[in-house]
Chains A and B, each alone.
Chain A
Amino acid sequence: MMLPGSVLVLVAVCLPLLYPAMALHAGWVRAMRYVLPVLPLPALLLALGSEPGWQLEMPWLLNGGLWAMDELRRLFLLLTAVLWLVAGIYAVGYLTSHHLRRFCVFWGLTLAGNLGLTVAVDIGSFYSFFALMTFAGYGLVVHEGTNEAIRAGRVYLVMAVLGEMAILMGLLLASAAAGSQMLADLPEGIAASPRRDLIMALLIAGFGVKAGLPLLHFWLPLAHPVAPTPASAVLSGAMIKAGLLGWLVTLPFGEAALPGWGALMIVAGAVGAIGAAVVGVCQQRPKAVLAYSSISQMGLMVLMVGVALADSGRAPVLFPVIALYALHHGLAKGSLFLSAGMSLPAGAIPRAGAWILIALPGLSLAGLPFTSGALAKLAMKEGLLENRLELALASYLSPLMAAGVVATLLLVLRYLWILAGKLEIGDNPPMLVAGWLTAIGVSLVAFWWMPWDVGGLVESPVWLPAPYQLWALLWPMLIASGLALLTVLASWLVKQR
């Protein structure tokens, strides 16, 4: 017996939303820890089990509520549910009793916001969930209570509040221009509005704070690493994508060609992709490297958003690719983050196995053949083919993507290098291992059965790249490996003298 999507969505959103009430009963605090992995389950069921296209109308909600799921939202919902699920399992083993109740309360609220915004179709609900996620997320960032966490939290909060205000203003103007309270009407309204550029600027900046757009990203490398590891994973894997989704559902894609805005986003994406890598390889702490890697990866998605803005005819082709890329990145990045809190097994063979499992999602990010990353990279490449695009910057895209792969792999190698010096031999709590293994399994295996869509850009079988594609995928990786080797050699030589 399968509940219809419109009923299940209420359960999916209300369960994490009401879960914090458990904290009121002092005797239930211990149980709260074990409920963490249960919270995203209805949402997971909703993403996998319900057919896109259902709607839930709630005319009494805010200014008229409407929740629904289409193909795009489905992927974001799936990513959110899966990532919070594996992080939740991991958290059961990871968390200490230090302010456990408080952490669980914020976990539930942040999750409710993150899930809700993927299915909210009216402006009021969407903005409410977005704000809930933002403010509750603060509790996850500062949880450790160290001076560093508090500083990071302050930067996070100031930037977040400014971002929220930009979004509020942008949505108000857009809603007035469209004369509607629904997100679906905004693109048309914005495109026709005399204040178009102001609205675009506000929405791009407001959601850009969440998505780690260059110059608006300062909080991100501070906040993502200081949070407890499971929270880092959802911050960098799922919550960062809320900004991306915000763009996708509000900006006027396919309404009119906006070469100026498109070029701006393409440049911002390129700066993010390459610049974050340059800064990232200089980091000393593993999670900080991963945070920069997230900015770098988001840069590639921003670049695609820019192309879709500039070339309105290409937007429908690129949307599924952006969603696919977001899904792939979220799963892989989540797995990488979770490995930062592990201990290594004592035996040589199990340890080698562990290292392979730690490295694989990272190599996936760089586009290793037979991983989700290879598919995402190939789809992106096809989507951005020069001869299909009508924009000035088209010829730069291909080299940019290759540079992006080099940057990605360098960051991953840097992460593994630091991690190798940090991870200790010891026992892991079983739930922590279970969460981590699930994350890797989902990223490497279950991904192939997920309902993504490559829009016919990649020939089937999608998991098997053709020989020429293999080479295209591998040569930037070889360059990066060569560079990394040279660096290691050089540093070894310097030490010898």
Chain B
Amino acid sequence: MTLNAWIPVFALMTSLIASLVIFALPEKGYRLRTAVNLVAALLKLGLVVVMVRGVFLGVDYGVSFTMVPGVTFVLKADAFSMMFAGLSAVLWLLTTIYAVGYLEDSPNRSRFFGFFSLCVASTMGIALAGNLFTFFLFYEMLTLSTYPLVVHRGTETALKAGRTYLIYTLTGGAVLLLAIAWLHGVAGDLPFREGGHFIDADPDIHRSLILIFMLLVAGLGVKAAIFPLHGWLPQAMVAPAPVSALLHAVAVVKAGAFGIVRVVYDIYGVEASSALGLLEPLSWLAAFTILYASVRALRQVDLKRRLAFSTVSQVSYIILGVSIFGPVAAVGGLVHLLHQGIMKITLFFCAGNYAETLGIHRIDEMDGAGRRMPGTSVAFTIGAFGMIGAPPLAGFITKWTMGSGSLAVNMDWVVVVLVFSSLLNAAYFLPVLYRLWFREAGVTWPHERHWGRLETSAWLYWPPLLTAAMTVMVGVLASLPFSPLSWAELIMLREYAP
């Protein structure tokens, strides 16, 4: 075993060990816990940076253990792994900082941060999994480690949301396991491979492959919140803001989307998926989800619920992108994995700031908040415009790339969906921005707190500003090497010419 083989293991272990250490720490060890959290997050970020550079240069990171004959546990890092791992590492650091400030003086912080690290370890495992079996292990670990976070507050609504969440995700997990087992029976233990495995599959197994694909998408679609499997997500809004931020931007929904991309590109292969006629229905489903969830978002009065439906809509961009048989459109879908994460985490951080600082939860309470909290509101504005797809922000790069790619393969209807989705996004974000900046504030806020010089606690103030700056940067500097767009292009280059 060389060092290269172990780097993915180390990257996985940082969050895992941090999690165990935090569980062991006493509830009062606030400083030590914060230190452990931040050191682990920085360490992981460093390891991911090393791996990104390595993957770019063509280094092979991988390690595998045979569990039982025919079933192997494989960790490896390819370009696509690093996309998800990078997202997870960067946003974990920021969310940790944010969560420290958000949960100041609240009970059960030890439990919270323990599961929080465990959840991040799961996403890392999902990113580095080298075959479906390994992927499944971490996928389920993610379910179990996020449940305590969703019900963290312990209220009646939180417990109810947690139940819904478990029912949905465990059922999804069972379906996924069934599909993986069936596929194992049909084709054996398949590692994720650029270009896939089924380009010249035996016609006898076509029917099975189609059915397995449907089951796989159904199982993964629960976490990716594809219609009609999205019902748990808006309910999970009762979780504290940092959890929502993580669930929406990084962990759960992205794990589902990531899995679907893996299945399409690295198990079946995009050509085989297209030949089996699997992509087109998937693209319709994604397009429908995009529009349906946006319409639902319009009618929400609670800010976080509106953002939740927006997530349902935006995650399906990724699915839509990869279900178009063409490299450019797929780049647009993949790049949204990062873009949506950065933008959405910004919006959730801001929603959390309004809730913590002013006690604002509903949209009609936001009048005039821009003047009271300019930093947070600027960040929110950038995030919202990014979601609308206004240039030169992250969302525009996604839409432009996906649009160009769809036109290149004569799927013009996708452009219409993109534009309609932009219109709907404008319809549910612009009124919020109007309230923020152009309405006069009421006499008092629902529940205001003060933090000296800044508009809110420094722990809460800087993360959204940083992610908002990233939203601008990944758009404006889209053509730099190692930008999300360039990285997505690298992935597709390797997928289409393995």
Contacts and interface: CB of A to CB of B under 8 A. Distances in A.
Residue with the greatest number of chain B CB neighbours at <10 A, chosen from A64, A164, A173: A164
Nearest to A198: B412
A27 interface: no
A169 B419 contact: yes
A74 to B, nearest CB: 24
Nearest to A24: B374
A124 B407 contact: no
A59 B426 CA distance: 30
Contact of A139 (B374, B422, B437): B437
Given A161-B426, A165-B423, A128 B403 contact: no
Interface in B107-122: none
A487 interface: no
B438 A172 contact: no
Interface stretch (B98-106, B139-147, B354-362, B472-480): B472-480
Residue with the greatest number of chain A CB neighbours at <10 A, chosen from B391, B399, B415: B391
A142 B375 CA distance: 22
B487 interface: no
Interface residues of A, number: 31
B415 A172 contact: yes
Interface string A146-173: 0000100100010001101100110011
B202 to A, nearest CB: 38
Contact of A135 (B390, B392, B415, B423): B390
B392 A62 contact: yes
A424 to B, nearest CB: 29
A102 interface: yes
B385 interface: yes
A64 B486 CA distance: 12
Contacts of A128: 391-392, 396
Contacts of B399: 168
Interface in B153-194: none
Nearest to B478: A62
A61 B475 CA distance: 8
B319 to A, nearest CB: 21
B24 interface: no
Nearest to A169: B419
Interface string B363-389: 000000000001100000000010001
A227 to B, nearest CB: 14
A423 interface: no
A131 interface: yes
B211 interface: no
B137 interface: no
B438 A142 contact: yes
Contact of B400 (A63, A139, A164): A63
Contacts of B374: 23-24
B407 A176 contact: yes
A128 B389 CA distance: 11
Residue with the greatest number of chain B CB neighbours at <10 A, chosen from A60, A157, A173: A60
A350 interface: no
A181 to B, nearest CB: 9
A165 B404 contact: no
Contact of B476 (A61, A157, A168, A172): A61
Contacts of A153: 438
B391 A131 contact: yes
Residue with the greatest number of chain B CB neighbours at <10 A, chosen from A63, A150, A157: A63
A212 B472 CA distance: 31
Given A128-B392, A165-B419, A168-B419, A145 B404 contact: no
Contacts of A135: 385, 390
A161 B476 CA distance: 21
A168 B480 CA distance: 23
A297 interface: no
Contacts of B426: 161
Interface in A83-142: 102, 124-125, 127-128, 131, 135, 139, 142
A162 B403 CA distance: 18
A131 B390 contact: yes
A175 B479 contact: no
B391 A127 contact: yes
Interface in B394-434: 396-397, 399-400, 403-404, 407-408, 415, 419, 422-423, 426, 430
Nearest to B328: A176
A61 B479 contact: yes
B208 to A, nearest CB: 38
Contacts of B419: 165, 168-169
B476 to A, nearest CB: 6
A91 to B, nearest CB: 19
Interface in B439-485: 440, 475-480
Given A62-B476, A165-B423, A169-B415, A102 B391 contact: no
Contact of B479 (A62, A127, A161, A162): A62
A169 B480 CA distance: 25
B479 A172 contact: no
A175 B477 CA distance: 20
Given A24-B374, A124-B392, A172-B403, A62 B415 contact: no
A63 B374 CA distance: 31
Interface string A416-447: 00000000000000000000000000000000
14 contacts: A24-B375, A60-B480, A62-B478, A124-B400, A127-B391, A128-B396, A131-B391, A145-B438, A161-B430, A168-B399, A172-B404, A172-B415, A175-B404, A176-B407
Interface of B: 374-375, 385, 389-392, 396-397, 399-400, 403-404, 407-408, 415, 419, 422-423, 426, 430, 437-438, 440, 475-480
Given A60-B480, A131-B390, A168-B389, 11 more contacts: A60-B477, A61-B476, A61-B478, A61-B479, A62-B392, A135-B385, A161-B423, A165-B422, A168-B403, A169-B415, A172-B403
Chain A to chain B: the 5 pairs with minimum beta-carbon distance, closest first:
A128-B391, A176-B407, A128-B392, A172-B403, A60-B480
